[in-house]
Amino acid sequence: MKNPSLEVDELAFAYPDGNQALFGVNLNISQGERVALLGPNGAGKTTLVMHLNGILPTMQGSVKVAGQLVDSKDVASIKAIRHKVGIVFQDPDDQLFMPTVGEDVAFGPFNAGLRGEELKHAVDSALDLVGMREFIDRPPHHLSFGQRRRVAVATVLAMKPEILVMDEPSSNLDPASRRELAEIVRSLDITLLMVTHDLPFAFELCERSVILSGGVIVADGPTREILSNATLLSAHRLELPRGFSF
């Protein structure tokens, strides 16, 4: 049996305004698993993701990444956790801010202490994984949206995380860019948690899906099984495209 990459145990969270976003969430993801996190808007998906690397403090319950407790009160612990959990945001422009693609990808490893050939290797390897090596000297704002998303993935992969978290990775992509991103994700040997409303993309890339709704996990199982349950999908405001077939 593979080691757990992520262990979430009875995680509950309320915002300062009293809005209870999570009610005792339990979620275990093994090393190398690809899991889709599905659910309607306001279900608590973003709140859950922000607990994985300590952006939000753990109020009740616990989160472990590769066996290490996420403790927001321990600065050294959070720094280590943020190396283990790489989050690719929905908008790549939230992650790309340096003059060139290469500098963007180098930013994390450089701040982690890499220099010289070691840093160059980390950058080149990450860009190779997403097929963007030839754009290393290009300003990110000169790239297409799909290319910027791939560079955003490279900035995370350069840190060699334990878990890759992708927030709505297929949004705003044209069909070719969507297919290219799917091929990249499929080729990665990494634990993946993909937050998405794109159910066909989840079916294509994730063998397992979890539905979070109203702050609790209401379904967890094989993606095909979950997406075949029309009653379950309808109850949680999830829809397959008209005409979609397995």
| Interval 29-61: pLDDT, tens | 999 999 999 999 999 999 999 999 999 999 999
Tokens of 171: 């949004």
- pLDDT tens figures, 74-132: 888 888 898 999 999 999 999 999 999 999 999 999 999 999 999 999 999 999 999 99
Does a structural domain hold residue 242?
Answer: no
Residue 246 lies in a domain: no
141: left (phi over 0), alpha (psi -120 to 50) or beta: alpha
Above 80 in pLDDT, residue 27?
yes
Decide if 216 is inside a domain. Answer: yes
Domain that holds residue 82: 4-235
CA distance 126 to 109: 11
Tell me if 200 is assigned to some domain: yes
Q: What is the pLDDT of residues 127-173, one digit of tens each?
A: 999 999 999 999 999 999 999 999 999 999 999 999 999 999 999 99
Domain count, the chain: 1
Q: Is residue 244 part of a domain?
A: no
**pLDDT given at position 1:** 64
- pLDDT at residue number 136: 98
Q: By three-state DSSP, how is residue 35 classified?
A: strand
pLDDT tens digits for range 183-237: 999 999 999 999 999 999 999 999 999 999 999 999 999 999 999 999 999 999 9
Quick check: is 184 in a domain? Answer: yes
Q: Is 88 helix (H, G, I), strand (E, B) or coil?
A: strand
- Please report whether residue 245 resides in a domain: no
Residue 33's pLDDT is what? 97
CATH of the domain at 112: 3.40.50.300
> In 154-215, which ranges are E strands?
163-167, 191-195, 208-213
180 occurs within a structural domain: yes
Residue 137 has what pLDDT? 97
pLDDT of residue 245: 83
Residue 30's pLDDT is: 97
Give pLDDT, residue 246.
Answer: 81
pTM: 0.94
d(CA 70, CA 13): 15
Strands (E), 79-234: 85-88, 163-167, 191-195, 208-213, 216-222
Which residue from 107, 135, 134, 140 is spatially nearest to 122, judged by alpha carbons? 107
